[in-house]
Structure 1
Amino acid sequence: MFYSRYAPIGEQFAVPAKPNDFSNAKVILFNTELDTQLGLNWDLDTARSYLSGNRPLPGAQSVCLAYSGHQFGQFNPTLGDGRAHLIGSLITNGNEVFDIQLKGSGATVFSRGGDGLCALGPAIREFVMSKALSSLGVPSTQCLAVLSTGDSVYRQGELPGAVVARVAHSHIRVGSFQYLAMQQDSQAMLKLLELTMKDVGLQSNEITEEDIFSFFEFVCDAQCDLMLKWLQVGFIHGVMNTDNTLINGETIDYGPCAMIESFSFNRVFSSIDRQGRYAFGQQPNMASWNCGRLAESLLLLVEDEQVAIDRFSKILVGFSERFNQGYTQLWRNKLGILDEQPGDQELVTELLEIMTRNELDFTNTFASLTAIKINRQQAQYPAPHELDEWVKKWQLRIQDHESSEIAAVMQRHNPAIIPRNDLMEEVIRDFYQYGNSDVLDSWLAALSAPYNYDNYPEKWLLSQTNTKSYQTFCGT
């Protein structure tokens, strides 16, 4: 059932490594839906034994993966899994391939002096955020379980330790190709390309240069579409380094991430993003930049470098064109604009300027407009008075279409509920203080259907109280 997926690429890429054996570990969060989807059908004792490092998955060898990365624009040639172990891969009955990886499972050859451990708070954040984003329709890695280790880790003080069991369709990153390009290992890169192309449905019996360009275009399209999804729901990743950019377009590494609440394209929450490189509105530019670094790596496999540069450059121009078209459609969808007319861009720009100037809540503002059109829950999602005059213009713009059709489009694109930052911090504090959280089960159930305009506890919808001072951290 399980196997070592990346072994054919070589031990310089998939380095054999055993996770720590946390003998006192306990499963504190478990994703039963994901367990069923994977066909594991584990009880908690079985999950604990496999995910605590107590015993290996049958048929698989635990490894840590090598990769490079541009971290905030600076190239680091050797990063790799410094606190993670990929314990095995599996193929489901539906013929889907998944990796199971442990985070916080101990030091590896790539730890660079770090302890390889994870505190409980970041583990809770990853469980909630990955589940919430998936429900919002954002491609994402998944969290199968969070285990408390029974040990302490030391960050800004002593904290309880945890292990995150992460599930992904693939753990191949832009930095994976950068690493092999740096090694000038064309044979290993070709094997990696063959494996990755098969994963994304671009399988070819014998890789040609045309296949390489098709693969690059696929990656660019996947990254572009992911950025549009992030913008639609108001997600800020916080650390979009090339080592945190999955080739298949899934969101990975929920460290210094947060949801935008008080609206600004310049919003930054990550404690380490001091220049705003990965600010909310900068994310599409950074995704395109990361794709450019992938193109540089793929040059290793092409014969005529200049021809390849020209082809890659044209594909990157296509990224911009695809994004611009999607960006225009994004705001039409959120505002229920079903056709194109002169003045639409000005209407959107005016709205965003009002939201920025008055620091209006991103989710609640669009939820209030949606509530108007679906004609319910308007008391729970009141339209901000700052928008009174703008709403009149908007209503006039969409009056020629059926309200039911407009409402259906808006409700599909404007969530009523998101993983609010203040509530996320409250849940983390509860786990640190009590080892559990009374609010989490009911909150997760609501977050699993975020486009339902139901009655929710008021604090689940409240805008963040300290946006300007709020910071999130990597957890390493």
Structure 2
Amino acid sequence: MTAQFETTFANLGSSFGSYVAPTALKDAQLLHYNSALAANLGLDLPSIKALTTASDLPANCKPFAMVYAGHQFGGYSPQMGDGRGVLLGELGCNQQLWDLHLKGVGKTPYSRFGDGRAVLRSSLREYLGSNAMQGLQIPTTQALAIATTSEQVRRESLEPGAVLLRVSQCHIRFGHFEYFYYQNMQEEQAQLINYCAQRYLNLNTPNTRDNALALLDMATQNTAKLIAQWQAIGFAHGVLNTDNMSLIGETFDFGPFAFLDDFEPGHICNHSDDQGRYAFDRQANIGLWNLNALAHALSNFIDIADIKNTLAAYEKVLSSHYYQLMMTKLGLSSTLSEDNQQLLQQLLKLLAQDRTDYTYFFRTLSRAPDNALDLLIDRAAGQAWLEKYRACSAHIPESQRTTQMLAVNPKYILRNYLAQQVIESTNNGDLSRLDQLLSVLASPFEEHPALDHLAQPPADKDKHLAVSCSS
């Protein structure tokens, strides 16, 4: 079927971006697509090919490059925007609008010195990353399809070019509101606030002040819960600039991300992050920093007392949600308990001290606590912790504990060395590794015995692979 697009965001007007005709790829070929997501959206294969290669866009599609600003590594950039992407429009599905967005289709007015292109390497990482988060049931944008081209794109070196078709409920970033605030465009900002309140909160009131407060509250609550999920699963985003923060709290803009191998609280996954601003253990604080930036951008419409009260909930929501997630990972009751809190802190300290593989440890603990002890270097400290763990879980039937833990402690995660293997094999025309990895990422809590090798921690040489923003 031909995709029937709406253009609700583009219809806001020229202050919100620019219409851009995508540059069709040379010798474009559809490399891969998410068939389950396509079915949910009601899109057939010819439609996906046409959209991803930008070769035959439907007449009701009006590609639009969004303009926004953002704090990047703490410094404000007054005008950014979609420098290599366009919003194709919105598809109505299951009484909800879904944005379809193309990345890598040429220059826009916001490309600055960029070429407007994307490389296969980064496109595959986002394709894999969004699939991994979806399988882990963590809010995320989704990647629908990848197309390749015979054109070469220069990053650190010449690389194969590609286009990614991304799907999300929301492409509005914190940086959208910053742009209009610092440009002193209050009328347009009010227009954006009311649009978002209607679309994402079903608020049809024209009261911009109430709508702004409701959006800030939504962003605060959802961001806190999202980052709690990241910390519990061991995910580091790598570049939490305000222009990479989703208004509705989805994992957004996959770049130099990483799932932890060894448990290193201060792990920096972005080799461009010299100061460790976006280290794994700083993500919670950065989330609040970014929410403060959003609140400041909305301060023309929200009283300072309401801003303070709204942001004050962030830490409580995040810590409470994180604690519940971690207790579930341990197979314990989520009821707040000093003994359980101490047990968790002692374990994390031990895992960090021994550089134990985070995912492998929790999966092993789920099945055989004694075997988990073998993963620790400090056996005496591990044995002491295990005895306390057994005391805390003594009242829980073993089968119940195991079932609960296996449902939340994944066997498979998207390790960087696995992503790199897929990139290399795909560059050589072999999609078998991509298909295998996608199959376990879709159901990461299942066993998949034929693919056990994809659950193995990396060898030392494959740890700490350098990943940059261009990735």
TM-score interval, smaller chain: over 0.9
CA contact 1:68–1:80 (8 Å) conserved in 2: yes
Q: 1:261 to 1:289 in 2, by over 3 A?
A: same
Query: Residues 107 and 116 of structure 2 are in contact (CA less than 8 Å); yes or no, is this contact kept in structure 1?
Result: yes
Q: CA deviation at 1:436?
A: 2.8
On the 8 A contact 1:216/1:295 being kept in 2, the answer is yes
Equivalent pairs, count: 462
Q: Deviations over 1:356-410 (max 9, x none)?
A: 111000101111111127xxxx98x785144333222211210012223322332
Structure-to-structure mapping, 1:343-358, within 5 angstroms: 343-358=339-354
> Is 1:450 paired with 2:439?
no
Q: Displacement of 1:54 after TM fit? A: 1.6
Q: Deviations over 1:197-227 (max 9, x none)?
A: 1232241322242332222111100101110
State yes or no: 1:266 paired with 2:257: no
Report how far residue 458 of structure 1 moved. Answer: 4.4
In structure 2, how many angstroms separate the alpha carbons of the residues matched to 1:423 and 1:248? 30
1:153 partner SS: strand
Distance 1:70 1:340, change over 3 A: closer
Asked whether the 8 Å contact 1:119–1:162 carries over to 2, the reply is: yes
Contact 1:104 1:117 in 2 (8 A): yes
Match of 1:413, as an amino acid?
Answer: V
Contact 2:229 2:322 (8 Å CA) reproduced = no
**CA, structure 1 residues 57+301, in 2 after alignment: closer, same or farther (shift >3 Å)?**
farther
Of residues 396, 401, 405 in structure 2, which corresponds to 1:406?
401
Q: Which amino acid aligns with 2:359?
A: T
Q: How far off its partner does 1:133 sit?
A: 0.7
Residue 342 of structure 1 pairs with residue 338 of structure 2: yes
Alignment of 1:369-380 (within 5 A): 369-372=365-368
Hey, what does 1:246 align to over in structure 2?
246
Report the Cα distance in structure 1 between the residues aligned to 2:9 and 2:208, rounded to whole angstroms.
22
Aligned ranges 1:56-455 → 2 under 5 Å? 56-92=57-93, 94-302=94-302, 308-338=303-333, 339-372=335-368, 383-386=374-377, 387-432=382-427, 434-455=428-449
C-alpha distance in 2, partners of 1:210/1:33? 38
Q: CA deviation at 1:38?
A: 0.7
Give the whole-Å Cα distance in 2 for the aligned partners of 1:208 and 1:457: 53
Query: What residue number does 1:305 align with?
Result: none
* Partner SS state of residue 439, structure 1: helix
Contact 2:181 2:297 in 1 (8 A): yes
**1:462 corresponds to which letter in structure 2?**
Q
CA contact (8 A) 1:6 1:14 kept: no
Q: What percentage of residue pairs aligned between the two structures are identical?
A: 29
Equivalents in 2 of 1:352, 1:116: separation in Å?
Answer: 43
The offset of 1:237, in angstroms, is 0.6
Q: 1:198 to 1:412 in 2, by over 3 A?
A: farther
Give secondary structure in 1 for the equivalent of 2:101: strand
1:13 is matched with which residue? 16
C-alpha displacement at 1:127, in angstroms? 0.8
Gaps of 5+ in 1: 303-307
Give the Cα separation in 1 of the matches to 2:238 and 2:443: 25
For residue 351 of structure 1, report the CA deviation from its aligned partner. 0.7
Q: Whole-Å Cα distance in 2 between the matches of residues 63 and 140 of structure 1? A: 22
Go from structure 1 to structure 2 and tell me whether the alpha carbon gap of 1:41 and 1:210 turns closer, same or farther (over 3 Å shift): same
SS of structure 2 residue aligned to 1:301: coil
Verify the 8 A CA contact 1:69 1:175 in the aligned structure 2. Answer: yes
Looking at structure 2, the residues matched to 20 and 261 of structure 1 have their Cα atoms a distance apart, in angstroms, of 39
Superposition deviation, residue 42 in structure 1: 2.9
CA contact (8 A) 1:10 1:188 kept: no
Instruction: Tell me by how many angstroms 1:468 deviates.
Output: 6.2
Of 206-215 and 6-15, deviating more is 206-215
Cα 1:50–1:454 shift into 2, 3 Å: closer
Equivalent position of 1:27 in the other structure: 30
| Structure 1 SS opposite 2:298 | helix
Return the alpha-carbon distance in structure 1 between the equivalents of residues 376 and 48 of structure 2: 51
CA offsets 1:16-50 (integer angstroms, 9 cap, x no match): 1111111410001111111111111233xx42322
Answering whether residue 466 of structure 2 is matched by residue 463 of structure 1, we say no
The amino acid across from 1:171 in the alignment is H
Distance 2:85 2:167 in 1: 12
Using the alignment, how far apart are the partners of 1:456 and 1:290 within structure 2?
Answer: 43
1:412 Cα offset (Å): 2.7
Secondary structure at 1:266 match in 2: coil
